[in-house]
Amino acid sequence: MKPICGWRCCYKLYSVQISVLIALFGFAQLELLPMWQAQLSPRAYAVLNSALGLLLFIARLIKQGPDQDIQS
């Protein structure tokens, strides 16, 4: 498997940024959710995570740069 062209700049891709955000929310659930349980229900947290997952799917469909020729 070959990495995408320009993989060193992957931090600029929306899908990578959203993926990192989803991962941070996962870690936050372990540490912060017990403190926020009175304010944030598990249902609200699940809806937030699902919305971020859907946003990740949409971000993967967005063209984010100039056309590049695919070389094999």
pTM confidence score: 0.62
Does residue 25 form part of some domain?
Answer: yes
Does residue 48 form part of some domain?
Answer: yes
Does residue 37 form part of some domain?
Answer: yes
Model confidence at 72: pLDDT above 50: no
Does residue 45 form part of some domain?
Answer: yes
Q: Which two three-digit tokens encode residue 45?
A: 């947290």
Does residue 2 form part of some domain?
Answer: no
Does residue 26 form part of some domain?
Answer: yes
Q: Residue 45 is part of which domain span? A: 21-61
What does the pLDDT look like over 21-44, one tens digit per residue?
A: 888 877 877 777 677 667 777 788
Number of H helices, E strands in the chain: 3, 0
Does residue 7 form part of some domain?
Answer: no
Does residue 4 form part of some domain?
Answer: no
Q: Which two three-digit tokens encode residue 37?
A: 């349980």
pLDDT for the residue numbered 6:
76
Model confidence at 53: pLDDT above 50: yes
Domain count, the chain: 1
